[in-house]
Amino acid sequence: MKTQLSFANLDEINTGLLVVLAADAQTSKEPDARPKPFLLTADKTVKAAAASVFRSGEYKAGANETLLVHAPDGVAATRLLIVGLGKQAKVNVSSVRNAAGTAVRFAKPRGVRRLVLALPESNLLPPGPCARASIEGAFLGDFDPDTYRSDRKDQSVQTFTLAVPADSDKAAVKAAFAEGVIVGESQSFTRSLVNEPGNKLTPTILGQRAAQMAAEVGLKCEVHSTKKLHELKMGAFWSVSQGSAEPPALIVLRYQPEGVTGGPVLGLVGKGITFDTGGISIKPSEKMELMKYDMAGGAAMLGAMRAIALLKPRVRVIGIVCAAENMPDGKAYKPGDVVTAMSGKTIDVINTDAEGRLVLADGLTYAKQLGATHLIDAATLTGACVVALGSTNAGGFSNDDETYAKFNAALETSGEKFWRLPLGEEYAEHIKSDIADIKNTGGRYGGAITAAEFLHVFAEDTPWIHLDIAGLAWTEDSKPYIAKGPSGFAVRSILEWVRSY
């Protein structure tokens, strides 16, 4: 999708679809109070074109509510699309991101290949962040998962133009716009990886895709396999992979900004299980096909590393993705096995479907060995986190309040939702083993927390954040602004956390 800026007057822009955002100014709590929709633009001609529809009361400017006006009076555009942001008091930058995605998804099935979105004019909405969010939203809306349909019709929007008021701070808007393109493309890269079937994206192929991306954006990349795992004594990672005919891949990316030699080194570690059957503790067959997205944490790290390479923050970053298939086989690891992690800790395997924490254990240890002073991991780790938080918030955990505070502040920019869950010795008691140092599950209750405590054992005292994104990495139902399927969740938050350093 080509993206561009325009500083022309809205009513003079000749386009097939001009998109303007609206909000509802109604604040009364009376049940019969009527909505008061208004356009977030100063253009009088465009306002006049929508006035009669607004007076009719049929349009309420609800969040992502659309209204199409054909041949609007006095406007060069052939069609005017109004997209609502909801109640004015609740409007924020994330509302704009979703509205931009809604506009693109409205355009796609109607054959609109070029559209213009007016940057909203409101004291509540800063132009720079809104410019970036608009582009991110456009990329979110343009992605569809039907990659392998033989009769697929390419409905992509070819050109997305952001129309900016002429009196805006052009330099600030241009910079924010450029950031939005990088972030949007990086999130789409993550989504394209997560969308791939397990037979099309093995650990080896994931490594190849990572290496190709790294070469394009200037990252250093190494991809290792079985020999390296044995050399590093990654017994936890290897145990998961040993039941598959497909070899594992240890993907290592390095970002070294020019002139930066001191300061923190941030270690980004992602779970890359390209297909998860559960192993010997096999999953139910229902919806097992979705377990192709069990590498979404690793894909999020790859997307974040892509954006980091292009946005060039002045901090050193190491990205590690531990990729494997978890399969049942005569050589597969078994419940009751004891494996030795890279750190030397012994692990009592209670359930082979709790494999993500095993690969992450060695990934965290390796990141520290490579010099990481701060750690963040991302994984579709537990169904328990989905039970606790649903598909509204992902789970966040940390052993360091200051480090998590930086992450929490980053959410203001990313617009993604995480809820911090506790850690503590009481929970750690649940993963103590009779035969080994720890066991890989802590029972039914508090499953997301005991999984995090398992990872805490390997993070040790290094400042560390764990993101359990199981409930948000895959969108179960289409929404006005995003298609059903891979979401690319956590890319923006990880990126902004890195940039905070």
The residues annotated as belonging to the active site are 283, 357
Answer whether 18's CB lies under 8 Å from 75's CB: yes
CA atoms of 114 and 117, how far apart (whole Å): 10
DSSP notation for 183-246: HHHHHHHHHHHHHS-TTTS-HHHHHHHHHHHHHHHT-EEEEE-HHHHHHTT-HHHHHHHTTSSS
**Angle, helix 356-369 to helix 447-459, in steps of 10 degrees:** 30
Contacts of 434 (CB under 8 A, 6+ apart): 348
Region for residue 17 given its phi and psi (left: phi exceeds 0; alpha: psi -120 to 50; beta: otherwise): beta
Q: Distances from the Cα of 333 to the Cαs of 90, 239, 358, 411, in angstroms?
A: 51, 6, 12, 39
Buried b (16+ CB within 10 A) or exposed e, 433-447: eeebbbbbbbeeebb
Maximum alpha-carbon separation in the chain = 79
**3-class SS of residue 276:** strand
**3-class SS of residue 319:** strand
The sheet carrying 438-439 orders its strands as: 338-340, 346-348, 438-439
Residue listed under structure tokens 């993705």: 321
Tokens of 368: 């520290």
Q: Which residues make beta-bridge pairs with 374?
A: 266
Dihedral of CA 357/358/361/363: which sign? negative
Answer whether 348's CB lies under 8 Å from 335's CB: no
User: Residue 265 burial (CB < 10 Å; 0-12/13-18/19+)?
Assistant: buried
CA atoms of 313 and 297, how far apart (whole Å): 22
CA atoms of 462 and 374, how far apart (whole Å): 6
Secondary element (H or E) of residue 250: strand 249-255
Q: How far is CA 59 from the centre of its chain?
A: 32
